[in-house]
A and B are shown apart, each in its own frame.
Chain A
């Protein structure tokens, strides 16, 4: 049974997924894609969106077939030993992605605001709001994520400024990219959409189950809109080559904006962005809390504290910024495997194990 404090409706789920998906990617993606694909990088983003869309379809069908979350039914679908192995693997994946996002978050904050600050201090400090949010339950996380609409509306002014002040013709030539490069770019873009795979962990909590696919697809569409906007803005303002040499192109765009009363608007945008990343980390953390609750039947402050400590330790192990970025590429591929391939493989298994699922529901 789902806890009443954790139940969320379709609108809240849409917000939750969108807030989890959009985070570091909006800063990093333009550079990665311009390096990998060139000016046609925006096509890779759209391909990636369709790819994760397939994942959303698979997870929706899987959850519907099972009548519970795919994660909860793993021991039934794969047998106890294998089910536990995959459960632990998925939990480790969530620890890994939370810690990598935290690590990249800390690095951006260091570059943007505090170059001399200690990583550990910043990690602990920046993790506090996410942990506090998670301690209040899924519904509070999803409700808080509503701030993302306001934050993204304000942050959207940055790429908009880039597009207006820049030259959109830098995007030419369009479609002169090889399929190989586009595919590679799409795989690299996949990491920016991670968050949709959390649907694999939540199902009883979702009130509008019939609109699950539309909700997941809606969150991907919104994220795609922002990523494509950020990419086009970077090319339009800095040209087709320079963004590849800028660590965070969007950050550089924000530095070009000044208002009569605020000289450095980017610092104010930075403050908003910090809140946006908090929602991303809290999304993965609550997924992890849910996974631990499902598998170990524990949900208390101790389990949340342990999860937080493990995340911080994993973030410290991740190493330097360069190592974290390399790991982010790797975890992006793993994330796509978790969100697209894994549910696609589980679908026929679930169909074959219909009887076992029925018995499992009866025994609950």
Chain B
């Protein structure tokens, strides 16, 4: 019997079975692709975190401890790939005499390193000038002392006489925060700022220099820098973090207080596990609706043939089929469709993973195979077996054979569940938005990272409430609001308007489901696309702030590029180029960036917007600065930290170019600045360049901002040839900076996730608008056969077909687009942590949304035309069988 049933399905209803299998394939493929993406993203994040750490561990040897024993303990706890001892010595200060001036710095540090350190731990020290063979000086220290390769620097030793070294090279220390961290500091202690003044000397020389200082053990110490073997690390960042942390604990237990571990790798993995959690949160917020939609799509395709199936089963019941036999038949159909759907879905997954995941990423989908297969079969069972069981056990044969559902109001509609959900969503959102929460909470020193799962309540309720509301609205439109429907379809239906609207009204459950499904697909596509576009827009804002202008040329403290301004302005494609001074000033004991600008000219080279200033008025702020010679704009954080009031006089300490000493300079606080091109995110100051030049005795500009009217890359290339003689000068474009920002882990995750979703959203919109409509129409072939036999011409049949299509697609599109925007607003507020800076408005991807609408129209038109083509001649078999 089962074989006969399946044979009949393949012979007579293959289209419907294939349609359901395609729906299932989309569910399986989306599930598998998203799963593969999350797994592969976690692995990439671990690899990225590991690669970003030049030194995994910094093991501080306690005074009096035996370094050899510590080295052995490290080897036992975690066999290292690289292990090297580094000397750290405190210095009372450095001084140098250049020309006719002498400069002196505050306290500093002198490192002793082996000659092969640069090769073993690449990325720790970057050579800017001179040679690595010999004594190296940090860039900032070189600027403070006005020294370069070949100059002499005096080191003030503690408890010993001063000594002199000759500088061989100037270096940057990109990893200074970790390099000079306070290893072994109690958990929760504020991080220690790296020293302003650093010298690096060869290890043998360091030992000689600081042997006299050894008596002061608090000023001389040894650290082991360690690189671990990474091959045994698990791909999941959380698991890798735990493993690395446990290895460090093991070491500390072995050395029993004679050493402390600065675990840089664990710190990087700690950040990565937060990023991984963000990726998972994004998956839940943006991916779950897609999965639910795909499942609903499958059920809807299966439900398109439900009436006919119900009537067939009613006939079988009339002929004595038992409940068990009916369920077996439905189960066989579910298995057939399920297996075909799963196989098609896996084939589609291979294509999508090849397109969106890195090489080898396709393998990650296999991890998800069992779960995905189970889901596919469960969905197929839900599509076929559950309705069969429900009909057979709860409905009479007469009711099951009825072709039009009786007018009943669903329970949810009577309970106003849609409005209850929407109200609850609003309350949950209000509570979440006002509770000042972080969706990901990673407490320092705590192994577990927590996710604020309550934040999911608002969007989940919003999705549910919106879907139910769409169905209510469709029912209302086809009931009390039928006049509006008549007006809408009148141009298509002409003289048949009354009859067609009545026919549609009697199909209100099917129509409501159709509209809701199309609306869901559009809401999903809209929310994903708008979220993605808003994120990208914010990353452009971030890039514009970071880079400062279309093209930015930056010099160094010792080699400014202001003198090349005229040459830079002459580059073809440059609309304007403006100089900007960049100095450092002490606010109290805090060293901050200070920018000197010409308020009347700066806007020509860079885009300044109202949102950058606390008073939301860029014009008024710059005019005030122009009028106030000693005026200064202060960042929000500095204003808060130092309890400043507008109009206050702020005494800053600035280095004078004439004597290279810091002097107190008064400024008047005239405004609060939130963001400024090239400025750091936290603390900075903006003043008049003319005043800054006057009080520091130097007008040289360190930065030139350039607005372009041609390809910025070409302008940047020309600028690079001009500044090639300036050591350390950098030319960057907005595009390069944005690419850098877009390579962060959250951006990569979002990029991958949204690409997958946007593609599937198009497929599902096409599917819902086309396949569901076509199958629904083809299920009523008998009605159309009668219509044709009664003399209906093509235009009459079109009136029926297009009216139905119009109502489902247009209704679903409008409701879905509106709801999608609302959902995005909620998502952007809840996921504010992924935006930098948070957006003030949503960015609408008109092209993509236009493509989805066009796709829906094309698919529905194609579906209608295919059905229409089959109705040219009346189906006599259909008329004969009834």
A in complex with B: no
